[in-house]
Amino acid sequence: MQEYIPSPIKWVADQVELYEGSGGIEGITLRDTGMPVIIVTNIGWKTGAIRKTPLMRVVDGENYILIASQGGRPKHPLWYHNLKVNPKVEIRDETSVFDMITEEIHQSSERSRLWDLAVAAYPPYHDYQNKTDRLIPLFLAKPIS
């Protein structure tokens, strides 16, 4: 069985613990914002360990849009690299859990459509993109049937 390594960022580890420990009843929003989050479970590209990341809840039908913004920092978040190596993830959305496969979206019209959905769900994404020189990556997570 793979080892779970909590995030070294205390508030992230605490949120994952609260979210999962409550069965998706508590810890379901980003800190004090009231904005809904999901927990994305993925496999570390270097360690092979289980990693869990709270991300903003952005949906497109039955799919989820995962935005690798890292608050507009200059580098991609570590989970970005995890998904590039192993695109299978588990997504917990409150009390529901889904096995999904992710794909980075590069195609401009589809990417633009998904980006607009992301900014509508969480307006700070617009500011994050303006703050960084990198194009913030988007992944589309689709159910594994």
Q: Which CATH superfamily is domain 10-143 in?
A: Electron Transport, Fmn-binding Protein; Chain A (2.30.110.10)
Q: How confident is the model at residue 2 (pLDDT cuts 50, 70, 90)?
A: confident
pTM of the model: 0.94
Mean pLDDT across the chain:
95
DSSP string, the chain: -PPB---SSHHHHHHHHHHHHTTSSSS-B-TTS--BEEEEEEE-TTT--EEEEEEE--EETTEEEEE--GGG-SS--HHHHHHHH--EEEEEETTEEEEEEEEE---HHHHHHHHHHHHHH-THHHHHHHH-SSPPPEEEEEE--
Segment 16-52, tens digit of pLDDT = 999 999 999 999 998 778 899 999 999 999 999 999 9
Where exactly are the structural domains of the chain? 10-143
